[in-house]
């Protein structure tokens, strides 16, 4: 026990001594790294977060807190979080489209709790177009409201009691 404690303390002191010895060179090392590292574009996550927040602002301005929305996107949970609105479907994320009962369950959920707004992200390699049940619902009961970045926003055009 004594040896282990002694070794741990010795290694800690050695680490602190090395860090202290290299401290004057940190600015030099950082300067070298800045000039030799390639410049990178802003991460896509920052762009996605800005889009999520813009969508959430639109949703908050055009829905009541008790109203639901439906978002067809792989990462839709930030939109729900920022907008403080619930999903009309138990499948709040398009990643669940692989579930065997996805289309039937989603169709039933959207009929039971019609969303005030439907947000559809443009298809990509990772995100297929929305399934037929969503396309039918859009054609029957929704109209295009606006476009925000890579999302088309649809709003209900018929009364809920239809």
pLDDT in tens, 3-62: 555 566 777 777 777 767 766 665 555 555 555 544 444 445 567 889 999 999 999 999
The pTM of the full predicted model, rounded to 2 decimals, is 0.69
Residue 42 in contact with residue 18, Cβ under 8 Å? Answer: no
Predicted local distance difference test score (pLDDT) of residue 94: 81
Residue 73 in contact with residue 127, Cβ under 8 Å? Answer: yes
Task: Report phi then psi at 114, rounded to 5.
Answer: -60, 130
Digit-coded pLDDT (tens) for 106-127: 999 999 999 999 999 998 878 8
Show the tokens assigned to 124.
């990509």
Predicted local distance difference test score (pLDDT) of residue 109: 94
Show the tokens assigned to 140.
């029957």
Predicted local distance difference test score (pLDDT) of residue 159: 55
Residue 74 in contact with residue 93, Cβ under 8 Å? Answer: yes
DSSP code per residue over 3-45? HHHHHHHHHHHHHHHHHHHHGGGHHHHHHHHHHHSPP-PPPHH
For 54-78, letters b (16+ CB in 10 Å) and e give: ebbebbeebbeeebbbbbbbeebeb
Q: With 50 as the cut, is the pLDDT of residue 77 above it?
A: yes
């Amino acid at each position: 026990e004594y040896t282990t404690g002694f070794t741990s303390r010795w290694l800690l002191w050695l680490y602190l001594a090395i860090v202290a010895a290299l401290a004057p060179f940190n600015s030099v090392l950082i300067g070298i790294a800045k000039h030799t590292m390639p410049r990178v574009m802003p991460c896509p996550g920052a762009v996605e977060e800005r889009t999520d927040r813009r969508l959430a602002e639109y949703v908050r301005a055009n829905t009541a807190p008790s109203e639901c929305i439906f978002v067809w996107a792989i990462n839709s949970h930030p939109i729900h979080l920022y907008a403080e609105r619930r999903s009309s479907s138990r499948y709040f994320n398009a990643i669940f489209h692989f579930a065997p009962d996805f289309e039937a369950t989603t169709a039933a959920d959207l009929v039971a709790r019609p969303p005030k707004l439907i947000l559809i992200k443009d298809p990509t390699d990772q995100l297929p177009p929305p399934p037929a049940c969503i396309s039918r619902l859009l054609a029957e009961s929704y109209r295009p409201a606006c476009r925000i970045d890579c999302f088309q926003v649809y709003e209900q055009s018929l009364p809920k009691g239809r």
